A and B are shown apart, each in its own frame.
Chain A
Amino acid sequence: MIEVRNSDTLLEVRGLHTYFYTYEGVVKAVNSVSYRLNRGEITGLVGESGSGKSVTAQSIIRLVKAPGKVVEGEVWLDGQDLMSCSEAEMQTIRGRKISMIFQEPRAALNPLFTVGDQISRVIQLREGCSRSVADSHAVEMMRAVEIADPDRRANAYPHELSGGMCQRVMVAMALSANPLLLIADEPTTGLDVTVQAQVLDLIRLRVKSAGSACLFITHDLGVVAELCERVIVMYAGRVVEQGPVAEIFSSPRHPYTQGLIASTLRVDIDKPISTIPGTVPDAVNLPSGCTFHPRCPFAEDLCQQEEPQMVEAGKNHTTRCHIVSGRIEREMLEEAWTLETA
């Protein structure tokens, strides 16, 4: 493949396949996923539970838990292929070039150490500085994420802090590295709305000012619309559509994306909320052809027989659908979604 790299591209994932080898069979959690993240941009990664969002992130930092394994693919970060790094090199990339914020802040903090200790430890590892220097740096970071009274809170254990406070600690830990890439795996689930907004602001501020990139994993389309420049939609381990947020929200091309948007509660438009019929397919026995066809209101015979390829749907906007590619001539009506649930 010829190297075509945009200078703005920080991370490029190419043909990533991550499989889980279970007793029931091979689960293709991430199946031929490719995307790019640009510097200074926040990219939303959306999809239902089990669509492969989190595994994509774990694959990038090469921390997929057994029995999962990255079987194929390249991940280029700033000109370096992470998939061909040694484990020792990878350890120096994690926590330095790439940081991660986890879904459940309290579970992601070690219960037996104070939060200040945990931030300081990560700083010591990275900078090789003394304990006292790292300690004061940790307090600075806690102040930077607007934790009130950071000197005192640094001596608190995770169970003594609220969920929102723990999430700020995680954010402080992740941002203390000034990472090139920040991966945020549903960082706001379980937080109340005001705290959620504060955490999002922190992330946005840091990404914009540092010129790093952020992969923001969520199932909350509202957050994506608010925060992200680009969005990637995943379904059953595949990317089904990706493009600029404004375009995807105003004219989604893939039926699944349309369904997702139609099922989001909006205050500005007076219409009933719809749902996508059916459930996410069984990961071991994925449907043939387009994996979405059993739930798609526009599906035809071809969708069941042949898997659609990624096609252009606009500027920097691609999708996987036989209707968009013109293989099937048919109109996709927005009413299809409201009719389905009526």
Chain B
Amino acid sequence: MRLLQYVGKRLLQLIPVLLGVSVIIFTISHVLPGNPVYLFVGIDTTPEEIEAITKRLGLDKPLHEQYFIWLGNVLRGDLGDSWFTSESVAQDLIRRFPATFEMTTAALLLSIAMGVPLGVLSAVYRNSWIDNISRGITLLGVSVPSFWLGLLLIYVLFYLLRIFPPPSGRIGLLISPPDRITGLYLVDSVLTGNWKAFSSSAQHLALPVITQALVTLAPITRLMRSSMLEVLGSEYIQAARANGVPDRQIYFRDALRNALLAPLTFVALVYGNLLGGSVVLERIFSWPGIGRYALESIVVKDYNAVQGFVLLAAVLYVLVFLIVDILYFVIDPRITA
């Protein structure tokens, strides 16, 4: 009941945030220099024709009127058509987003699954060999750029060792993707019982996910370590020890929950960013996600597509933070609605 109230309140608060985002996106695309009408017309177009096209596109109307028309379209799910793919931007994004979502979510889960235990262990066994190993891994993760790491992994794990398939997209070239239900190949192939597609898409997912996870793992581990150290030094942990609570319970029951609070925000930040698509990794692994779509749209000045992408990225970011706020609310009783 308390939770529902909190979620409702947070959802209401999203309305002004998203309106603000829409104003910014609309304004930016309309203050860009150059008249978009010229993109439609040839060199020998008469001024009358230009005026007619301007009228047809609604660009002669006052700016605020144009905004409301655009907003109305957006609310109906119409983000305009892409001049490059000549399809609706919304369709383009819906088709590509699952690729990004699948990769980044898998990468994030992997980096949490490794980073949290590694951080906890390095805090509990501070300055031991395990702490030093984790320090080494995280130092590498922080200092190696993702494009280089991606290329290195492709070179070693595909080219030299042939463990993983070539970076040719989400699934083997000769294998047809599973029937689309969610757009996530792993999920869809399980749902349709298509094990051939499952195995191929899992293998194709591996390299980009490992690359992304190694990069994300580093800060999560460091943050988890410092947060855990701080909690372990706190008065209530000392008090629990004085009450005869065994170490194992101290670490996993008393300390861990408290120590997770700080890294949670960071994870949200990373996830929000990643969901907007990793331009670099999607390019290296020929991954058909929204990051690559955005890059290509920018190159060809496809304004509707760019606008649609930025709007989607902003909405995803806001949603991730909504989820994290709800998680905080569930974990930490000090947060009230």
Give A contacts to B, CB under 8 Å: 61, 63, 65, 91-96, 98-100, 102, 104, 107-112, 114, 121-122, 125-126, 157, 159-160, 170, 173-174
Contact = CB atoms under 8 A, between A and B. Distances in A.
Contacts of A110: 236, 240, 254, 258
B239 interface: yes
A159 B236 CA distance: 13
Interface string B85-104: 00000000000000000000
B47 interface: no
Contacts of A65: 233, 238
Interface string B323-337: 000000001111000
B243 A109 contact: no
A159 B244 contact: no
Interface string B217-249: 000000000000000011110111111111000
Given A65-B233, A157-B334, A108 B244 contact: no
B332 A112 contact: yes
A342 to B, nearest CB: 42
Contacts of A100: 239, 242-243
Given A91-B244, A100-B243, A112-B333, 12 more contacts: A65-B233, A65-B238, A92-B244, A94-B243, A99-B242, A100-B239, A107-B236, A110-B254, A111-B334, A121-B245, A125-B246, A170-B239
Contact of A95 (B234, B244, B257, B333): B244
B241 A94 contact: yes
A10 to B, nearest CB: 18
Nearest to A102: B239
Contacts of B238: 63, 65, 102, 108
Contacts of B235: 102, 104, 107-108
A287 to B, nearest CB: 31
13 contacts: A63-B242, A65-B233, A91-B246, A94-B241, A95-B242, A99-B242, A99-B243, A109-B239, A112-B257, A122-B245, A125-B243, A173-B243, A174-B243
Nearest to A92: B244
A91 B250 CA distance: 12
A159 B242 CA distance: 21
A121 B254 CA distance: 11
Contacts of B240: 110
B234 A107 contact: yes
Contacts of B234: 107
Given A104-B235, A108-B235, A109-B236, A96 B334 contact: no
A157 to B, nearest CB: 4
A125 B244 contact: yes
Contact of B245 (A111, A125, A174): A125
Interface in B187-241: 233-236, 238-241
Given A111-B258, A159-B333, A126 B244 contact: yes
